[in-house]
């Protein structure tokens, strides 16, 4: 795919390859890793706009960032425009350049609350959320799916609504809410949405290698791609797509993640996070099941490091 910068008002994304927001994963250390490997923008985990009023440890962890994060983008989940406006204009989000509104989460409890992908069937309220967020003065992006059901697509109409309401960029997951995370993406729906708007469009869904990214770009005409769970298994995909040289092996990347996690979080969180990331990085390797069992039974970072060294033995520099 052709790598190019994307302009969002006065902000320039250095590449048109994005890391998708993923609950439980895209904390500060992982965003810094993906930025280093070539991602032009990385989003926080999904944050409840309403929960920000509590200003608790969990939210502070989700919102943690530093000046080293080149472009700061937070994803908000909410269905009430008033709550979104207060959150967007609030002190807790003051460091963030971009607010991404989640209008695609398919999880049942989110959907039943009228948030996430439920907004696909309520465009007036979705538009009100975008307008409310715009009043913060921040750049506003929207992530959504092609529709609730694959035989009832709304991607083009929803894309037009987003642009008219003031969104600066949209990201389209090429699956319906009913498909969850399985099945081939509907390239034609992303293409129709792209043809309907003048703002940048990122295409998401089913990208597991460079060929998939090329196919997505060719078949949709999108301005860039957004990569989700495959990037956990192979974060090098960002370097492969952008042509950025990388020397570090997986073990070295894990050690860097450990150092960042310990610098900014407590040890229990660092241990839990590293187990999750390592589980993806060692996917399809010989002995993975046994290593995972050992990882989730160990109780310290020292023990965990010994497991990492064994699992990635061929990559460890002694």
- Catalytic positions are 105
**Radius of gyration in angstroms for the set of CA atoms belonging to the chain, rounded to a whole number:** 19
CA-to-CA dists, residue 2 to 81, 217, 235, 241, 288, angstroms: 37, 9, 19, 9, 35
Q: How many beta carbons lie within 10 A of that of residue 26, not counting itself?
A: 24
Q: Which burial class, exposed, middle or buried, applies to 160 when counting CB atoms under 10 A from its CB (0-12, 13-18, 19+)?
A: middle
Token pair for 109: 């409890």
């Amino acid at each position: 795919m052709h790598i190019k910068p994307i302009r969002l008002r006065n902000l320039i994304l250095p590449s048109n390859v994005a890391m998708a927001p993923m609950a439980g994963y895209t904390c500060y250390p992982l965003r810094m890793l993906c930025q280093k490997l070539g991602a032009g923008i990385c989003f926080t985990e999904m944050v409840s706009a309403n929960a920000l009023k509590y200003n608790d440890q969990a939210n502070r962890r989700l919102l943690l960032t530093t000046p080293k994060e080149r472009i700061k983008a937070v994803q908000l989940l909410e269905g009430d425009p008033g709550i979104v406006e207060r959150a967007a204009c609030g002190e807790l989000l003051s460091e963030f350049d971009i607010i991404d509104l989640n209008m695609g989460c398919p999880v049942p409890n989110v959907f039943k609350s009228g948030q996430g992908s439920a907004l696909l069937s309520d465009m007036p309220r979705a538009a009100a959320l975008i307008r409310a967020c715009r009043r913060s003065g921040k750049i506003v992006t929207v992530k959504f799916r092609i529709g609730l059901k694959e035989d009832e697509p709304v991607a083009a109409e929803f894309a037009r609504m987003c642009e008219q309401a003031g969104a600066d960029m949209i990201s389209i997951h090429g699956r319906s809410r009913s498909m969850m995370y399985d099945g081939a993406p509907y390239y034609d729906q992303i293409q129709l949405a792209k043809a309907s708007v003048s703002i940048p469009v990122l295409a998401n869904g089913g990208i597991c290698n460079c060929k998939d990214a090329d196919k997505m770009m060719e078949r949709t005409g999108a301005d860039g791609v957004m990569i989700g769970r495959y990037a956990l298994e192979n974060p090098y995909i960002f370097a492969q797509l952008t042509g950025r040289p990388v020397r570090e092996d997986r073990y070295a990347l894990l050690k860097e993640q450990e150092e960042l996690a310990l610098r900014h979080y407590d040890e229990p969180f660092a241990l839990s996070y590293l187990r999750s990331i390592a589980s993806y990085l060692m996917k399809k390797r010989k002995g993975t099941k046994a290593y995972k069992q050992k990882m989730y039974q160990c109780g310290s970072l020292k023990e965990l490091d010994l497991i990492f060294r064994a699992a990635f033995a061929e990559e460890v520099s002694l």
